[in-house]
Structure 1
Amino acid sequence: MEAGGGQPRIIVGVDGSAASVQALRTARALAGPLDAAVEAWACWDVPAGFGIYLAVGIEGFEVAAKQALRQALADAFGSPVPPEVRGRLLRGSAAHLLIGGSREAALLIVGRHGHAGFVPGSVSSACVSHAHCPVLVVPVRADASDGGR
């Protein structure tokens, strides 16, 4: 599917985990043959039970997500980030936002295990079950500790 009748896009869920860095690399490898743009989505929200932080401010959660996105892009591609890859910072549940975004995507890519949830693979499982486009779940490669490049 093409977003808005233009270039197809691949959405990648990014949380800074090794799996999401590998998902970014996979998306870039597929973007060329699909003539697609890559959008790296970092989703953040105030976790349940953190109501006290609302009085102090929520900026820390947003800043942490922004840093995780920047670091994941740097880990995946170095500098500069390829021009076909854009980062987006969104507030809300990662699973909910990624599933919503899948309505306008050609492909949704997520890592098998990330940092976002308390249940390993919960975001990827939700995306596989409810996305509106094909979903690719990327595991962490055994050689990811050496940069995986």
Structure 2
Amino acid sequence: MTHVPASQVRTIVVGVDGSASSVAALQLAASLMPLAGEVIHAVAAWQQPFVLSPYTPMEWNYEEVSQRALDQALTDAFPDGGPAGLESRTVQGAPAPVLIEESKHASMVVVGSRGLGGFAGLLLGSVSSAVAERVSCPVLVSHGAPQIVEGQSVALPSTEASA
């Protein structure tokens, strides 16, 4: 077997925040592995707030909370175990810049969309639109919910054409 340098491995970067749409993004990325990548790199970004309110516990560990959310999303997406080539990690920083940086050596980025919509969505923007505007690889925004039936993952539709 030939060793492929890490920079040449086709990687799908998936932004994970613990939401149902990020669980769906993980499942979608897994279904795209035959076409777009040998590795899924699940990334959860975290950052400490700039201003702590008197009600924010000082001992709050944002990295640990992010790691728990990432672990739970992976369990929810792949109850029977993740696909071969699944890697995950947390990264300190705002979600959009972290995903933009992670995408530099990716073949694709997959993110979920919770869709604020309306006027609030226009004012606040979103991670998915920021990522789509600034990366050089394809970006897929998953608008669906996780495909779970009776606690089991359901295979997403095949990407192969019918004969």
**TM surpasses 0.5:** yes
1:36 to 35, 38, 42: 38
Q: Distance in 2 between matches of 1:137 and 1:108?
A: 8
C-alpha distance in 1, partners of 2:112/2:129? Answer: 10
Equivalent residue for 2:113?
A: 112
Q: Which residue of 2 aligns with 1:131?
A: 135
Deviation at 1:88, TM superposition (A): 1.1
Q: 1:48 to 1:125 in 2, by over 3 A?
A: farther
1 CA distance for matches of 2:33 and 2:56?
A: 39
3-state SS, counterpart of residue 48 of structure 2: coil
- Which residue is equivalent to 1:99? 100
Q: State the shift of 1:99 in Å.
A: 0.8
Deviation digits for residues 70-126 of structure 1 (CA, Å, limit 9, x no counterpart)? 000000011422221111111101100101111110000000128xxx957610110
Say if 1:3 and 1:105, in contact at 8 Å, map to a contact too: no
How far off is 1:145 after superposition? 8.3
- Which AA in structure 2 matches 1:90? V
What is the TM-score when the length of structure 2 is the normalising length?
Answer: 0.75
**1:15-30 counterparts in 2 under 5 A?**
15-30=17-32
Overall identity of the aligned pairs, in %: 35
Does the residue aligned with 1:126 lie in a helix, a strand or coil?
A: helix
CA contact (8 A) 1:8 1:37 kept: yes
- Give me the whole-angstrom Cα distance separating, in 2, the residues matched to 1:87 and 1:93: 17
Tell me if structure 2 keeps the 8 A contact 1:21–1:75.
yes
With normalisation by structure 1, the TM-score equals 0.81
> Size of the alignment, in residue pairs?
144
Which residue number corresponds to residue 67 of structure 2? 66
Which whole-Å CA distance do the structure 1 matches of 2:146 and 2:109 have between them?
Answer: 23
Given that residues 65 and 89 in structure 1 are in contact (C-alpha distance below 8 angstroms), is that contact kept between their aligned partners in structure 2? yes
What is the SS of the residue equivalent to 2:83?
coil
Which has more radius of gyration?
2
The change in CA–CA distance for 1:143 and 1:33 in structure 2 (over 3 A counts) is closer
CA RMSD between the two structures:
2.9
| Maintained 8 Å contact 2:20/2:146 | no
Unaligned runs of 5+ in 2: 155-163
